[in-house]
Structure 1
Amino acid sequence: MTTAIDGEQMIDASSQRVWEAMNDPKILMACVPGCHSFEKIGENLFEAAITIKFGPIKADFSGLITVSNINAPKSYTISGEAAGSIAGFASGSADVVLYDGETPDQTRLVYTASADLGGKIAQLGKWVVGSTSRKLAQKFFERFNDQIKLQNATSS
C-alpha cells in the first residue's frame, strides 16, 4: 500500500542553518517520532530504529536510510527501507527542498514523500495508514522547527 504526503514548513532560521540541521544525525533522531537510534554508518548512509503505532498495531522497525540527489545547500532525497518483524515492512522516500523565506532568517522547507507498507500494517487500510503517516510527518517537522529554535537560543 502506497501513501503520498506533501507539505511545507516555515522555519525561523537561515537556509544554511536548516541545511546543517537536516544533515545532523542527533537532530534527526530527536525529530523522528519513536526513534531509538539514528547512526551514521557511511557516506550519506544511516541506520535507524523506531517504534511506530499504526492504529492498534505497535511495531518496531529497523533499517537503512540513504541521502541522495544532494544539491547542497538546497535539496536532497532521503529514502529508506525497514523491516518490522511480524508487523510488516516499510519503504519510502522524501524529496526535501529549501527556499528562501521573506527574510534572510527564514526558510521555507517543502517536502514530497511516499511510503510503501506491507504486511499486517497494510491490512489496517489506507485511511489509518495515511492518517498516521501524515501525523508522523507533521510531528517530525514540528520537532525539527523546535530543534532549530533551540539551536538559535543556545547560539545567541
Structure 2
Amino acid sequence: MRIEGTFDIAASRDAVYRHITDPGLMARCVPGCESIEQISPTSYRALVMVGVGGIKARFNLVVEITRENPPELVLSRTRGEEGSRASVLAADNELTLVELDSGTTRVGYASEVSVTGRLGKFALGVMKKKVEAMGEEFADRLREFIQTQAEPQLPAEALVAPSESSAGVINS
C-alpha cells in the first residue's frame, strides 16, 4: 500500500533536516517507538509497538538510510518482524524537504508499505487508516517539537547507560 502526504513546519529547511536526522528525536516522535539504536553510520534498529483492531504487535525493525541529499532528501528502507514472524513489515520511504518563501518547510513523505502475517490479514482499508493516523501523529509531534526547540537535543532520560549490548540505544 502507498502512503503519502505533506505537512508544514515553521522552521528553516536546514533546521528541520537536522531534527529529522536525530535518532533521539525520532524515538520521541514516531508513534509506538520504544527505542532506537544506531547499529552503523546509516542503519538503526528500532522497537515499535503497533495496535490494529485489538491486536498489538511489537516490531523489531531495521531502518537503513539508502540515500541522502542534505538538506532536501532522505531515502530509507525499513524491514522487520514481530516476535516469531507472526507479522512481517517492509517499507521503502522517501522524505523530502522544500523551503517555502515564508521560512516554513514543507515536509513530503511517501512510503510503499507491505505487512504480511496476522496484521496483514486486516483489510487494506483498515491498515491504511492506521498507518495514515500514525503518520499524522508523527507530523504533529515533530512539528510541536521543532517549533518549541531551537536545536535537536537528546533528553537525558532517553539515554541508556552504554553496555556491550546496549551502546547507542535511545529509549523514548
Q: TM-score, normalised by structure 1?
A: 0.92
Unaligned runs of 5+ in 1: none
Q: What is the deviation of 1:80?
A: 0.8
CA distance in 2, matches of 1:38, 1:55: 26
The residue aligned with 2:47 is 49
Unaligned runs of 5+ in 2: 154-172
What is the total number of aligned residue pairs between the two structures?
152
CA distance in 1, matches of 2:5, 2:26: 18
The partner residue of 1:71 within 63, 69, 72 is: 69
Superposed CA deviations along residues 83-107 of structure 1, whole A, max 9, x for unmatched, are 1125411110211111111323x10
Q: Which amino acid aligns with 1:25?
A: P
Name segments (4+ residues, structure 1) moved above 6 Å: none
CA distance in 2, matches of 1:98, 1:64: 23
Structure 1 residues 37 and 126: CA distance shift in structure 2, 3 A: same
Structure 1 residues 152 and 116: CA distance shift in structure 2, 3 A: same
CA distance in 2, matches of 1:14, 1:108: 10
Say if 2:94 is the partner of 1:95: yes
Q: What is the deviation of 1:28?
A: 0.4
Q: Return the structure number with greater helix share.
A: 1
Q: What is the deviation of 1:24?
A: 0.1
The residue aligned with 1:61 is 59
Secondary structure at 2:64's aligned position in 1?
Answer: strand
The residue aligned with 1:114 is 112
Q: Which amino acid aligns with 2:100?
A: G
